[in-house]
């Protein structure tokens, strides 16, 4: 064990002996090794870096683009007669959303564009950033695409997709 692990173990044992409760920290969500690898590569090679690109970025602090390397968080809720898909899409306007679906998948596409201009005397600065994402989600069952409904309010997209066949749920006794 490393020295820090030994220290933590000693402190934990001392707290238990004193009658104090000790809880281990749990992450908010499981870590994805692919996300960690992406973060590592992004830290080594900035977004503007490319082996064939000879010029440096216009500013050292280039704007981070919306949705750069990220996709919106999506919840899929399987109800008795319908499937509800909720997606967090802050900063995107309704006109910039494109939703397509099949009987078994939903694809959400969106884009953003931001423009900043500043003019003070002889000084003029203009920056434009754009970002886009695409997210395809598999559905737990087949849905009726003709009766699908979508609402978008305050950056939250909600799709209500009626099932073709309603699920028959039953309870099972645990022995």
Range of weakest confidence among 10-19, 72-81, 147-156: 10-19
Does residue 168 sit within a domain?
Answer: no
Q: Is the pLDDT of residue 115 over 50?
A: yes
How many structural domains is the chain composed of?
1
| pLDDT averaged over every residue in the chain | 76
| Inside any domain, residue 58 | no
Region 54-79 average pLDDT: 61
Domain that holds residue 88: 64-162
Confidence of residue 167 (pLDDT cuts 50, 70, 90): low
Distances (CA, A) of 165 to 11, 15, 76, 105, 161: 57, 56, 17, 16, 12
pLDDT band, residue 61 (cuts 50/70/90): very low
CA-nearest of 110, 128, 115, 126 to 67 is: 110
- The encoded tokens of residue 103 equal 């009987």
pTM of full prediction above 0.85: no
Beta bridge partners of 25: none
Over residues 61-67, mean pLDDT? 47
Residue 60 has pLDDT above 50, yes or no: no
pLDDT range class, residue 59, cuts 50, 70, 90? very low
Which band of pLDDT confidence, cut at 50, 70 and 90, is reported for residue 3?
low
Q: At 108, which CATH number? A: 2.60.40.790
Task: Sort strands 74-78 and 149-153 into parallel, antiparallel or unpaired.
Answer: unpaired
From CA 42, how far away is CA 175, in angstroms rounded? 50
pLDDT > 50? residue 62: no
Q: Regarding beta strands 123-138 and 105-120, do their DSSP bridges make them parallel or antiparallel, or are they unpaired?
A: antiparallel
């Amino acid at each position: 064990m490393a020295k820090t692990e030994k220290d933590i173990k000693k402190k934990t044992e001392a707290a238990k002996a004193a009658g104090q409760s000790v809880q281990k920290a749990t992450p908010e969500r499981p870590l994805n090794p692919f996300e960690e690898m992406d973060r590592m590569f992004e830290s080594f090679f900035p977004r503007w870096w490319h082996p064939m690109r000879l010029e440096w970025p216009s500013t050292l602090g280039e704007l981070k683009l919306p949705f750069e390397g990220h996709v919106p968080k999506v919840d899929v809720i399987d109800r008795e007669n319908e499937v509800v898909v909720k997606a967090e899409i802050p900063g995107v306007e309704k006109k910039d959303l494109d939703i397509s679906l099949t009987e078994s998948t939903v694809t959400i596409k969106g884009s953003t564009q931001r423009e900043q201009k500043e003019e003070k005397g002889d000084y003029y600065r203009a920056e434009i950033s754009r970002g886009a994402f695409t997210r395809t989600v598999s559905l737990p069952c087949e849905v009726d695409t003709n009766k699908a409904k979508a609402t978008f309010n305050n950056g939250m997209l909600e799709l209500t997709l009626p099932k073709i066949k309603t699920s028959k749920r039953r309870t099972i006794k645990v022995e």
